[in-house]
Structure 1
Amino acid sequence: MNLDFSQIVPYIPFMLEGIWVTIRFVIVAIILGFILGTLLALCKISSIRLLRAIAGSYTSIFRGTPLILQLMLFHYAVPQLTGYDITPFMSAILAFGLNSAAYVSEIIRAGIQAVDKGQTEAAKALGVPYREMMIDIILPQAMKNILPALMNEFITLTKESALVSTIGYLDLMRRSQVVGSSLFRNFEPLLFVGVIYWLMVTGLSVLGRMVERRLNVSD
């Protein structure tokens, strides 16, 4: 086999820099997706029909179209329509954050609806305002139930972050492609960043299990 990993050694620091570049936009996208997803979930269970329709349409659009298409639209179509030269970083945050929000909203909605209805009825009987009821009573219980599903969504987001290489964002995947083009050898740098992705995902999985055990102990 024509393999020579020694040739990528000088490029390892360059590729390792992609870890923070990748993590930075993934963290921001996760935060955006979680906040917006929570708001969408509350709209979906709202008694106001218009809010339910808006949230449902949003979810249908972002879950029904490919993530790479959404990424391309933000990066290439937005400048065409608005004249604003959007950066790859901002394109990545918007595409991944808004896409994740659609999935997170369904996870949270299911978690809220899985909470015993007696909790809601008891809170209403005691005169607890809706906002305080959701924040202090319903959402904490729902979060404990949906934590594994949320972690799976965040892990999926981390793996799919490699798609941003298609718009020139210097993440891990893009850096491996740059090294491969420089050396005319692609297997070695791709395998190297593949191991890094695996370590990142494994770390997230371990963190999720630790948090889940901590919540179960606190019961």
Structure 2
Amino acid sequence: MDFVLPDQGFHWTDLNFLLIGAGHTLLVSIISGAIGTFFGILLGWLRQALPVVRVITTPYVDVTRSVPLIIQLILANSIIAMSGAQFSTFWLSIIVLSSSMTVVTSEVVRGALSTVPYAYVRASRSLGIGYFQTLMHISAPLALRMGLSAWIGLLLGLTRDTALVSVVGYVDFMKSAQILISRTNETLPLLLGVGLFYFVICFSVSRYSAHLQKGIAS
């Protein structure tokens, strides 16, 4: 008796599975980028303005910057598993990626604010302009010009780093491709598709940021 193996090739129905994974990747990137940028700006400003905050937060910043993101994901997942808590891989990914984005953004913000000539700030204060008005109308615009390019680089890096969340079981675009590779053995076309997906996103963001930087500089 002959046994017929089921067709293990790629089907058009698998395209929906990949699109769902792509949507998960974009969702994680957008949410983590937004949260990390907001808290990164806040933390960077506080670390630049208040030395005590810089001292207190230095261990957190140094550890987060030094430990590879994949290890942070695995450790966080292991700690949650050992605690017995029920926690979705989606929010685990958001927390770890947002934390990383917060730290690197804070360093960009702190560095950009530090480049603002003190003479501008002193002149503003001598005219009776308050600290927050000086920050909003003088320091922040100048810091934006200095730090925007670096922040765009961080955002592109975050988008690429979302591929790492597959290690904790979150079904993003990379995980979707890995599942299909295991079933179909179509390694090359699927990996090329993954690479093209990330290229299109990163290239689009970089081109738009170049246009945005020209507008700010002009």
Quick check: TM above 0.5? yes
Q: Is the 8 A contact 1:123 1:133 kept in 2?
A: yes
- What percentage of residue pairs aligned between the two structures are identical? 25
**1:80 Cα deviation from its structure 2 partner:** 2.7
1:179 alignment partner AA = L
Paired with 1:89 and 1:7, the residues of 2 have a C-alpha distance of 27
* Structure 1 range deviating more: 70-79 or 141-150: 70-79
Corresponding residue to 2:23 among 20, 23, 35:
20
Q: Considering only aligned residues, what root-mean-square deviation do their CA atoms show, in Å?
A: 1.7
Corresponding residue to 1:63 among 57, 62, 65:
65
Counterpart in the other structure of 1:87 = 88
Counterpart in the other structure of 1:44 = 47
Paired with 2:148 and 2:77, the residues of 1 have a C-alpha distance of 32
1:70-91 per-residue CA deviation (whole Å, 9 max, x = no partner) reads: 112222313434x431211111
Counterpart in the other structure of 1:141 = 142
**1:180 Cα deviation from its structure 2 partner:** 0.8
Paired with 1:23 and 1:187, the residues of 2 have a C-alpha distance of 23
The structure that has the greater radius of gyration is: 2
Counterpart in the other structure of 1:3 = none
Paired with 1:122 and 1:74, the residues of 2 have a C-alpha distance of 48
- Distance 1:78-1:128 versus aligned 2 partners, 3 A rule: farther
Counterpart in the other structure of 1:78 = 80
1:16 alignment partner AA = L
Higher RCO structure (Cα 8 Å, ≥6 apart): 2
How many residues are aligned here?
210
2:192 alignment partner AA = L
2:159 matches 1:158: yes
- Distance 1:78-1:120 versus aligned 2 partners, 3 A rule: farther
**1:140 Cα deviation from its structure 2 partner:** 1.8
Paired with 1:17 and 1:204, the residues of 2 have a C-alpha distance of 21
Counterpart in the other structure of 2:103 = 102
Q: TM-score scaled to structure 2, two decimals?
A: 0.89
Q: Is the 8 A contact 1:43 1:55 kept in 2?
A: no
**1:209 Cα deviation from its structure 2 partner:** 0.7
Gaps of 5+ in 2: 1-8
1:123-143 per-residue CA deviation (whole Å, 9 max, x = no partner) reads: 222333323322232112101
Paired with 1:201 and 1:76, the residues of 2 have a C-alpha distance of 31
Gaps of 5+ in 1: 1-5
- Distance 1:99-1:136 versus aligned 2 partners, 3 A rule: same
Q: TM-score scaled to structure 1, two decimals?
A: 0.89
